Amino acid sequence: METDACRRDKSSFPRHSDAMRNFPPERIVCLTEETVETLYLLGEQDRIVGVSGYAVRPPQVRREKPRVSAFISADVPKILALQPDLVLCFSDLQAEIAAELIRAGVAVHVFNQRDIAGILAMISTLGGLVNTQSRADVLVNTLSERLSGIKNAAEQRQVRPRVYFEEWDDPLITGIGWVSELIELAGGIDVFPELRSQKAAKDRIVSPDDVRAAMPDIILASWCGKKVVPVKIRQRPGWSDIPAVRDNRIVEIKSPLILQPGPAALTDGLDAIVTALWPDSEV
């Protein structure tokens, strides 16, 4: 009779050479940007042997590390050729990639952070995975103190502008959890706060009438890597009376700063939000 242990043994024979035999892992492939940036901030960049094609932080990653994936697709043979002992993925969107790598005998860790607390937990977890917990703790504490400082400054302001964040233009998709939280931390009011907990983009679709009814004072836009065209936003039917359009307060925030749930969003991404909400302030 074949036991579960026997089946487990048969299914776990590695199909590539060194399936997580080292701790901390010496050869890491990162399939999203935020783990790349975090490992660089922890001083552990030499462990990285492959990255997402979207990784741009820090700038030198583009010339230092081979690119092995997009977001929902990856060159699995190229990843296997790098002989990673750990691959870092993100969410159900990369589940098929993760499954293929697991079947090939590769150790995989899939993160799923969707809010500020989750981002900080990701940093702590990654620090543990590479045996640099103390440095990860310092980074988390530094980021947390910075967030608290910006929140405290925002609470001193007398007004709170209404903010619509647009993650995509057709259909209109509003911001995910960490973006909504950062808007409020910076002193704004997210006009669609009830959607922040929706993980899937399809569940954060809003109509042009919804936005018009919300009457945002500021529109922040970051179209998933596509250049934002403010004139197209201004020309949407019925939007001319929206305060943000009327007062020309439509601001693009570059996707690498705000749409990856990692250190960038909590630093430069948050700074961009603060500047958009309070143009005369010093971040």
- We report the CATH number of the domain holding residue 60 as 3.40.50.1980
For residue 23, is it within any domain? yes
Same domain, 20 and 85: yes
Same domain, 102 and 150: no
Rounded distance between C-alpha atoms, residue 259 and residue 253, angstroms:
9
Same domain, 146 and 87: no
Task: Give the pLDDT of the chain (283 residues) as one tens digit per residue.
Answer: 443 334 344 444 345 545 567 899 999 999 999 999 999 999 999 999 999 999 999 999 999 999 999 989 999 999 999 999 999 999 999 999 999 999 999 999 999 999 999 999 999 999 999 999 999 999 999 999 999 999 999 999 999 999 999 999 999 999 899 999 999 999 999 999 999 999 889 999 999 999 999 999 999 999 998 999 999 999 999 999 999 999 999 999 999 999 999 999 999 999 999 999 999 876 5
Tens of pLDDT along 63-116?
999 999 998 999 999 999 999 999 999 999 999 999 999 999 999 999 999 999
Same domain, 83 and 161: no
Same domain, 49 and 151: no
pTM to 2 decimals?
A: 0.91
Query: 238, 146 in Cβ contact below 8 A?
Result: no
For residue 238, is it within any domain? yes
Q: Where are the alpha helices (DSSP H) in the chain?
A: 4-11, 33-41, 61-64, 76-81, 95-103, 116-129, 133-155, 177-185, 208-214, 230-234, 243-246, 255-258, 263-264, 270-277
Same domain, 190 and 73: no
> What letter represents residue 268's amino acid?
D
| Selection from 89, 83, 41 nearest residue 66 by Cα | 83
Q: Where are the alpha helices (DSSP H) in 215-283?
A: 230-234, 243-246, 255-258, 263-264, 270-277
Same domain, 8 and 100: yes
For residue 214, is it within any domain? yes
Same domain, 99 and 179: no
Query: 29, 79 in Cβ contact below 8 A?
Result: yes
For residue 134, is it within any domain? no
Same domain, 53 and 9: yes
Helix then strand then coil, in percent of the chain rounded to 5, is: 45, 15, 40
Domain extent, residue 258, equals 140-277
Q: Which residues have CB under 8 Å from 87's CB, separation 6+?
A: 28, 29, 30, 31, 79, 98, 101, 106, 107, 108, 109
Mean pLDDT of the chain: 92
Same domain, 40 and 102: yes
Query: What per-residue confidence (pLDDT) applies to 281?
Result: 73
In sequence order, the β-bridge partners of residue 67 are 51
Paired tokens of 67: 């690119």
Paired tokens of 39: 């490992």
For residue 127, is it within any domain? no
Residue 229 belongs to what H/E stretch?
none
Rounded distance between C-alpha atoms, residue 231 and residue 217, angstroms:
17
Same domain, 72 and 147: no
For residue 128, is it within any domain? no
For residue 32, is it within any domain? yes
How many structural domains are present in the chain? 2
Same domain, 267 and 172: yes
Q: Which residues have CB under 8 Å from 53's CB, separation 6+?
A: 67, 68, 69, 70
For residue 121, is it within any domain? no
Rounded distance between C-alpha atoms, residue 133 and residue 269, angstroms:
25
